[in-house]
């Protein structure tokens, strides 16, 4: 597929944009990445996603597809060559979608809660984050390389896109979220996921994410005590 036919509007530090990048890489799809600005969104973006006005947006030909998980599913269905991203079994597909929704709607919002929480309340939020990881450890099970089995799949992408920000929390709060004691399977999974050819050049380094967050907080005038 020629680069001009596939464009991705997003931000390189966004886990949601990273999610789509990984899916495109898994399918070996050439694409043009168009970097957007959170505070000065382009007319192209606003025209492509006039309802939500959010990133990422995949442009396939002249058709825009919005919302990262929906985009990943679209990529899997539109490009049938290459490895499958979603499970072939209907029940397994529904289960993967369920846990992906849990990650986006229930688990990852705790990271924002942690960022806004004052020091005395951070421990309780961290405990909730770890509880979510323990739950996902049970979903992962044992004896597999990835959630999807022997290769990176839908749920791997759904959770794995957040590993950069997970490492930011581990660095800034000085706490280990993935541990041998509580989440040994996910600990090994995270290493394999980040080393995968489709992933390793996509996820930003923690230092870059920390600087991005610092600049965003400064723009939003968030009090230092909550950073």
Domain chopping of the chain, boundaries: 3-78, 90-220
Which pLDDT value is given to residue 227? 34
* 4/6 Cα distance (integer angstroms): 6
- Phi and psi angles of residue 45, each rounded to the nearest 5 degrees, phi first: -65, -50
Which pLDDT value is given to residue 213? 80
Q: Using 70 as the pLDDT threshold, list the residues of the chain that sit under it.
A: 1-4, 217, 220-227
Q: Is 3.40.640.10 the CATH number for 3-78? A: no
Q: Is 3.40.50.720 the CATH number for 90-220? A: no
Q: How many CB atoms lie within 10 A of CB 147?
A: 25
Instruction: Give the residue carrying structure tokens 């006039």.
Output: 50
Which pLDDT value is given to residue 4? 64
Which pLDDT value is given to residue 221? 60
Which pLDDT value is given to residue 226? 32
pLDDT digits (tens, 9 = 90+) for 142-197: 999 999 899 999 999 999 999 999 999 999 999 999 999 999 999 999 999 999 99
What is the token pair recorded at 45?
A: 């973006």
What are 64's strand-pairing partners?
A: 59
């Amino acid at each position: 597929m020629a680069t001009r036919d596939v464009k991705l509007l997003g931000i390189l530090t966004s886990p949601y944009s990273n999610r789509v990048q990984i899916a495109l890489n898994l399918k070996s799809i050439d694409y043009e990445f168009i970097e957007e600005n959170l505070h000065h969104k382009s007319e192209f973006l606003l025209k492509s996603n006039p309802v939500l006005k959010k990133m990422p947006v995949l442009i396939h030909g002249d058709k825009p597809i919005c919302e990262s998980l929906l985009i990943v599913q679209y990529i899997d269905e539109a490009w049938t060559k290459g490895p499958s991203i979603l499970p072939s079994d209907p029940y397994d597909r529904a289960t993967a979608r369920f846990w992906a929704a849990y990650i986006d709607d229930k688990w990852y919002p705790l990271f924002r809660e942690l960022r806004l929480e004052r020091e005395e309340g951070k421990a309780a939020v961290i405990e909730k984050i770890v509880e979510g990881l323990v739950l996902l450890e049970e979903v992962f099970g044992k004896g597999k390389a990835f959630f999807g089995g022997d290769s990176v799949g839908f749920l791997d992408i759904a959770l794995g896109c957040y590993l950069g920000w997970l490492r930011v929390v581990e660095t800034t709060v000085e706490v280990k979220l993935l541990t041998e004691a509580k989440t040994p399977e996910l600990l090994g999974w995270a290493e394999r996921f980040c080393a995968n050819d489709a992933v390793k050049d996509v996820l930003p380094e923690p230092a870059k994410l920390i600087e991005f967050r610092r600049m965003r907080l400064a723009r939003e005038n968030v009090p230092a005590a909550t950073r």
